[in-house]
């Protein structure tokens, strides 16, 4: 019989035990206590923020204030929870999501970059880029005078990134948690040659029933319909979800509102330095094809993504910096 591997986890310790031949011999033990303690010593704020071991043993930052609660995984610097005080949870997270190094978390707000979708010249490269499947560094947690909490993470080029993308860069991500959720992604060219990159904040919004949701603010906008060979079309009226939807709206600068009658609320996304908006819902057929999404979970989510993709991709000369911002807010209907 082959070796059986059991993963034992608690809040601060992960042990991997080899049970072959009944020996119970420990092959490897990774004690995360010292790492979590060090992160808490540097970035923990009493009654406000703490670093914990999350799903799959991945470290996460939990923020709890009078304004809102939130969680940010260092894996992908990914927001997985934002719940303003007195409101229901805003962010969708799949119950079947993977929680593993090198795999994407299904739901939350993944950062897609430096490419979007499949990499044109390398079908083996990670879909939507590599930054959403690598651990980011936690650089700071700070409380503003109004109670907003800023969580700051960063990542940069290294040997692993150069395997997929041969450019020198630094990304800094500032997550401002309060009555609104402000996401600010800054990319700097730290190399000696220019490069072009795409970026998207792939925001999964939690809704009561996608079939009753309306998306406003894109009326009259030209979009590319991925479900129809990327044919260009014009949005007529509010967008609804009668089938699989995968649209890239071009030259969009204004706010977009997701009107959700089932939860009796409107989720508003404003943005800066973003030229495209992606709206996606896999529908029943698309959900069935995704191993990390429940068959019926498509009804509980709508993605509205602040982005710069395709023709709106960003070019940076050496030393240049580009910052894209998305701001989420919620209002009752």
Active site positions, annotated: 202, 305
- Is residue 202 within 8 Å of residue 303, measured between CB atoms? yes
Among candidate residues 205, 203, 143, 206, the one with its CA nearest the CA of residue 176: 143
Residue recorded with tokens 């977009």: 256
7 by DSSP, 3-state: which?
A: strand
- Is residue 51 within 8 Å of residue 61, measured between CB atoms? yes
Cis status, amide bond into 140, omega within 30 of 0: no
Determine phi and psi for 244, rounding to 5 degrees.
-55, 130
What tokens does 233 get? 């079309």
Q: How far apart are CA 304 and CA 270, in angstroms?
A: 11
Q: How far apart are CA 208 and CA 301, in angstroms?
A: 8
288 by DSSP, 3-state: which?
A: helix
Q: How far apart are CA 58 and CA 81, in angstroms?
A: 15
């Amino acid at each position: 019989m082959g070796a059986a591997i059991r993963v034992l986890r608690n809040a601060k310790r992960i042990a991997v035990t080899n049970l072959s031949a009944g020996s119970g011999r420990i092959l490897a033990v990774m004690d995360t206590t010292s790492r979590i303690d060090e992160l808490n010593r540097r970035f923990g704020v009493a009654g406000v923020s703490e670093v914990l071991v999350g799903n799959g043993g991945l470290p996460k930052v939990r923020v709890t204030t009078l304004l809102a609660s939130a969680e940010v995984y260092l894996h992908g610097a990914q927001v997985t929870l934002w719940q303003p005080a007195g409101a229901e949870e805003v962010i969708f997270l799949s119950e079947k999501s993977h929680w593993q190094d090198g795999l994407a978390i299904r739901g939350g707000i993944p950062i897609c970059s430096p490419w979007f979708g499949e990499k044109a010249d390398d079908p083996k490269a990670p879909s939507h880029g590599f930054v959403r499947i690598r651990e980011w560094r936690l650089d700071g947690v700070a409380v503003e005078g109004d109670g907003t909490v800023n969580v700051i993470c960063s990542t940069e080029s290294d040997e692993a990134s150069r395997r997929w993308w041969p450019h020198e860069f630094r990304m800094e991500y500032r997550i401002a948690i309060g009555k609104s959720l402000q996401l600010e992604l800054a990319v700097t060219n730290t190399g000696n040659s220019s490069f072009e990159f795409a970026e998207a904040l792939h925001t999964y919004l939690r809704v009561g029933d996608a079939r009753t949701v309306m998306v406003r603010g894109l009326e009259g906008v030209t979009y590319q319909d991925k479900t129809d060979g990327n044919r260009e079309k014009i949005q007529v009226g509010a967008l609804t979800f009668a089938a699989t939807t995968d649209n890239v709206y071009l030259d969009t600068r204004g706010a977009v509102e997701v009107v959700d009658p089932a939860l009796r609320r409107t989720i508003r996304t404003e943005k800066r330095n973003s030229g495209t908006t992606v709206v996606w819902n896999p529908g029943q057929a698309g959900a069935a094809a995704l191993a990390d999404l429940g068959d019926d979970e498509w009804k509980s989510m709508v993605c509205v993504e602040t982005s710069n993709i395709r023709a709106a991709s960003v070019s940076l000369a050496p030393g240049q910096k580009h910052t894209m911002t998305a701001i989420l807010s919620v209002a009752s209907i």
